[in-house]
Amino acid sequence: MTSKDTETLAALAASCGNEQIAEIYNEARFGGRAVVHPDDLHTLDSPEASAYSGLKECLSFLGRGEVARLWKHGDDAEILVVENLLHQRSDLPVWLRNKEEAMLTAQWKQQCKALGVSPDGRDKKAESIRLVPVAFQVLYYGNKPREAPTTLAEMLVKSGMPKRSPDADPDVHLVWRIPDGASV
């Protein structure tokens, strides 16, 4: 990655505030309905996020060009991540799934530590642990149309096995191509 790429990603991340994140998720997940409200989004190191153990540790898994917010809606919460990409990644679905797993593992370990239990999951006290789910939206700013897979399902070997319900393994992200010169 060139220093210009690094600067561009930093600028994209800096320009992606609560209003933009709400708009991206409302369009991608809710068909344009205003479900995610900017006032319900909080940084992972905010006082609102401190009620959820392990969220601050999730910040260490964010790279250049990534922005994450805690979305609190009623009694539920979710980490919404916007990933800005300048170049295609052929491993994007696996890369995002690994990042999601790392963020969930960080929450698990921090909550185990707070409870004074081993993270091996054998202690009965660990049954009370609740993790905040992670969702990704990818904005691709590349010059070429995306050719690599955008979902894990596209990467899996096709076989004669019965198909699972789409609800059984939802995609962790959608890829949106941003035309040259456009801003979000």
Beta bridge partners of 68: 81
* Greater pLDDT, 21 or 13: 21
For the entire predicted model, the pTM comes to 0.80
What's the DSSP call for residue 179? Answer: P
Please give the pLDDT value at position 157. Answer: 66
State pLDDT tens for residues 27-78.
988 989 999 999 999 999 999 999 898 999 999 998 888 899 999 998 899 9
Cβ pair 93, 150 in contact under 8 A: yes
Q: Are 27 and 19 in contact (CB under 8 A)?
A: no
Q: Which parts of 56-123 are beta strand (E)?
A: 66-73, 76-85
Contact indicator for 107, 89 with CB cutoff of 8 Å? no
- 172: phi > 0 → left, psi -120 to 50 → alpha, else beta; which? alpha
Per-residue model confidence as pLDDT tens digits over 86-109: 888 888 888 899 999 999 999 999
* 69 neighbors 11 (Cβ within 8 angstroms): no
What ranges do the domains of the chain cover? 3-155+166-177
pLDDT at 168 over 70: no
Mean pLDDT confidence for 10-38: 90
Instruction: For residue range 108-159, list pLDDT tens digits in order.
Output: 999 999 999 999 888 888 888 999 999 999 888 877 777 777 777 777 766 5
170 or 55, which is more confident?
Answer: 55
Alpha-carbon distance of 55 to 53, in angstroms, equals: 6
For position 175, what pLDDT does the model report?
Answer: 54
| pLDDT value of residue 143 | 78
